[in-house]
Amino acid sequence: MSTQPLIKKAIAYVTNKDELMVFTHTDFPEAGVQVPAGTVEETEEPSEAVLREIYEESGVKGVRIIELLGIYQYNMTPDRNEIQERYVYHLELTQSTPSMYLAVLGNTSKYEQKPYSL
């Protein structure tokens, strides 16, 4: 039995017709192109977390969940001593958004304002 903590993550593949929402973090370009994703908080369901992460990372609220694509576990060793249980969702945009923009994000003291390009 593993002694590594199990951390739930929500991953979003947001589509608009044949386009996929991706972003690069301008402060950390070495992280590469990413899709919205993040940790599921203790009081959340993964489906709630995926919507929150999309908003936090893009500022977009107009999305709807199409389906849960799958759940899998990933051992983060040696980078981190944790196993991630990843919930992967397909969502679609329900609002008009530009194909490229710079979003300066932040809410409460928990999140710093950081620029993102989509």
CA–CA separation, 107 and 97 (whole Å): 21
Query: Which residues carry out catalysis?
Result: 56
Cβ–Cβ under 8 Å, residues 45 and 54: no
User: Closest Cα partner for 54 from 69, 71, 35, 31?
Assistant: 35
